[in-house]
Amino acid sequence: MDGSHNSLAPRLPLITQSERQDTCPDHGEFTSAGFKIGSTMRWIGCPECSRLHQEAAKAAEAVKAAEHAQRVLEQRLDRSGIPLRYRSKTFQSFIADTDAKEVALAEAMEFASNFDAHLQAGTVIVMSGLPGTGKSHLAIAIAQTIMAQRTALYTSAIDAVRMIRDTWRRDSPRTETEVLDMLASVHLLVLDEVGVQYGTDAEQVSLFDIIDKRYRDMMPTILLTNQNKAGMKAFLGDRSFDRLREGGKWITFDWESHRGKVTAA
Ligand SMILES: [Zn+2]
């Protein structure tokens, strides 16, 4: 670049600036800055409208990014984050007809609405109760809520272990470490049917590996179990159980199964 080129460039029209009072139909009076470019005067619109517009655009971007991350996760795991048949399980569709259920619902909603804080803290929630008490319902409602911004995966403990075990095959396209990393890096992992004895010791160890890795990486996890505290302690072992209790939350679903009620009627 040489100086002579600049001096030959056409002169830009002079820009002059001024101010005037303006009124936004939504946000009232504001001071508008005006720029005269050549002979055309341009006035800057309502700053609040502009802020809201930018915020909406940012939120739309975030939703798109979250959807993309979720799609990538699902492709890699070759499964849907929330099985289609569970998509109707939302906070709105959870029937809280007792105080205890209200408390469980409130806890679940708190977790979902403050998810970023729980993501920072690596909160672990245990939902304990009989089948049909709504544990999966609330856990899935949480997962579906946070999926607007974050990635989530709902799986039974057995299926999670199967994902790991499948990598033990010689022709597996993925390594055990890759799958473990995927299960550890999803923002919220919901593990259902934890505490059911099954499979080999090596398979049980895989489940502890998942829970442990998420704990160490401070990633929020929801464990659903039919076990009470003593049963969960026996299943996980003292060390893992103690870890759950640090910064963890235990929610007891100690009411009758709604499925049980239906069949008894
Ligand atoms: Zn406005």
Q: How far is the CA of 46 from the centre of ligand 1 (A)?
A: 5
In this structure, how many other beta carbons lie within 10 angstroms of the beta carbon of residue 211? 24
Kindly give the pairing relationship between strand 152-156 and strand 221-225: unpaired
Q: How far is the CA of 62 from the centre of ligand 1 (A)?
A: 24
How is the beta sheet containing 188-194 ordered, strand by strand? 152-156, 188-194, 221-225, 124-129, 248-253
Q: How far is the CA of 17 from the centre of ligand 1 (A)?
A: 21
Q: How far is the CA of 66 from the centre of ligand 1 (A)?
A: 29
> Of 91, 193, 194, 101, whose CA–CA distance to 137 is shortest?
91
Q: How far is the CA of 19 from the centre of ligand 1 (A)?
A: 17
Q: How far is the CA of 172 from the centre of ligand 1 (A)?
A: 57
Q: How far is the CA of 144 from the centre of ligand 1 (A)?
A: 33
State the average pLDDT over residues 135-156.
93
Domains of the chain: 15-79 (no CATH), 83-253 (3.40.50.300)
Q: How far is the CA of 23 from the centre of ligand 1 (A)?
A: 8
Q: How far is the CA of 171 from the centre of ligand 1 (A)?
A: 61
Please tell me which residue, 15 or 243, carries the higher pLDDT value.
Answer: 243
Half-sphere exposure of 195 (CA within 13 A, CB side): 21
pLDDT tens, position by position, 61-82: 988 988 898 888 888 777 788 8
What's the mean per-residue pLDDT of the chain? Answer: 86
What pLDDT shows up at residue 76? 78
pLDDT at position 141 over 50: yes
pTM given for the model: 0.77
